[in-house]
Amino acid sequence: MDSAIQRKVDQWLQGNYDQDTKNSIQKLQQEDPKELADAFYQNLEFGTGGLRGIMGVGTNRMNKYTIGMATQGYANYLLQSYPGEEVRVAIAHDSRNNSRFFAETTAHVFAANGIKVFLFEALRPTPELSFAIRTLKCQGGVVCTASHNPKEYNGYKAYWNDGGQLVPPHDKNVIREVEKIASVDDVKWSGGDANITLIGKDIDEQYIEMVKGLSVFPEVIEKQRDLKIVYTPIHGTGITLVPQVLDRFGFKNVHIVEEQKTPDGNFPTVAYPNPEEKETMSIGLAKARELDADILLGTDPDADRVGIGIKDNHGEWVLMNGNQTAVLAFNYLLEARKEKGIAQSNDMIITTIVTTGMVDDLAAGYGVHCYRVLTGFKWIAEMIREKEGKECYITGGEESFGLMIGDKVRDKDAVSAVALLCEMAAYEKNNGKTLFDKLIELYVKFGFYKEKLISITKKGMDGQQQIAAMMQDYRNHLPKAINGIKVVRVLDYQSSQSTDPHTGDVAEIHLPKSNVLQFALEDGSLVSARPSGTEPKIKFYFSVKEKLERADEFDAVDQQLDAKIEGIIADLKLN
């Protein structure tokens, strides 16, 4: 074994770590040295969003010690940032294995540092944590979740006083403080239990009332109260609030997918607890088909992402991708507010650089501002903060199945999204249309956009290096054409430069630096490459468009767009 790795292993075997941890290390030494090396070869990085990793012993794993050290660093930064004030934090967790233990560990470390802690009594959706930070006037917060990752993973997301995840300068400052914690002996583990207050039902009620206030057409729901809704929480936290919110909205015909109703960190019915995956939604789709439902909805374990299923133009059940869901949701809120007479001249919506360009066309059609930010809801939250008092935020969202409706929560919120998507389905049904009818209608009006996402994972110690090499190769050899179509701009968010690969003309990009490359093609297509900040994974986003003259041409144009995407993928050798 590498000597640097061996030194770290020895530190854990000789240091102030519990005996179970030491026993687990010794077992790995004997039975799986390769796994031991992977568990110690690096420190689990506290990135701009916090921690995420596989659970287990070691510096590169999610465990009591990596969480405790991260919390100590974050506590130190909070105390420096608010000298002389009572510092308050809220803490929540999802249904994953060890999530409660990690949340309690986090609470004890904050409390031992003299910080006032509001800890949810049991599992709760991530968006409620954001709401609680704002409601309880906290300066920070943490939720223990790994979102939609496989069951082996857990994570730790850090928030600031607006209820949004950390953004500059706080993200980098917290990382610096976390990196200063050199040993578990630097962590205050206990002694502040009196600083911990359990919270639950009171915040639930305030949150539910807030979500109810987002409804635009309660009178339409009253007419369509029997809209047939199938909902699956996919063994996660959505079960704690989604059924209550739907009931409070006035929907009386809600069917929960029984097989996925109970919170369970082993996610026994799915490989990935991700509503983006057809396999994950298959039980819900079967139930929707059996009941001849109007809409199917699924939320991920921490209930910040939502997937929906509807019947297509042939009456077949299909899952919407995140771009289609965003287009439908954005349009509903803009159209309904206009019809209700509550639209304002300074209304705005926010999306991200990898979300469908159709959102810009929608915004222009309704005369509202549309802002594009880097991927991640923390940037949407930051933009809301920047525009507060000047523009009226209506909704935000991105292609990764996230929506944030209204500004009372500053993170993606699948609980409110489920309710508003059901209201949207009721609104269209009241007008004699399905949601798929509406989608085609929007394509005819604004252009038929189609998107696809490919994720490539490079496992092992050199996975990150392979991905870095791939990005560097693109930067060193800017493509001048893709699939025979001229590349008109290459946008490099790392260098903050937009370049014409033919003329060398350079323009500045006015967004924070991020390791993202985009290739804009002459026909309006857009290809984006974005490595993950938390996993050895690179995502490629493809967006293509064509004119759709009439609804009955949908299938033919859909096939053309598929062929265009496949041509781009083949040319980039990503099959």
Distances (CA, A) of 321 to 213, 356, 519: 27, 11, 22
Q: Beta 153-159 vs 50-54: how paired, if at all?
A: antiparallel
Q: Are 161 and 136 in contact (CB under 8 A)?
A: no
The length of the chain in residues reads 575
One-letter amino acid of 100: R
Number of CB atoms found within 10 A of residue 532's CB: 16
Q: Which of 73, 32, 20 is nearest to 179 (CA)?
A: 73
Q: Are 249 and 221 in contact (CB under 8 A)?
A: yes
Which tokens in the block code for residue 555? Answer: 């299938």
DSSP 486: E
Given 95, 99, 147, 543, the catalytic residue = 147
- Whether 455 sits among the annotated catalytic residues: the reply is no
> CA 224 to CA 388: how far, in whole Å?
35
Q: Are 105 and 222 in contact (CB under 8 A)?
A: no
Phi-psi region of 498 (alpha: psi -120 to 50; beta: other; left: phi over 0): beta
> CA 263 to CA 539: how far, in whole Å?
29
The residues, any chain, with a CB within 8 Å of residue 304's CB and separated by 6 or more, are 125, 126, 127, 147, 402, 411, 412, 413, 414
Specify the residue for token string 């914690």: 181
Q: Which of 359, 567, 350, 371 is nearest to 449 (CA)?
A: 359
Roughly how many angstroms between the first and final C-alpha of the chain, as a whole number? 36
Q: Which amino acids are annotated catalytic? A: 147
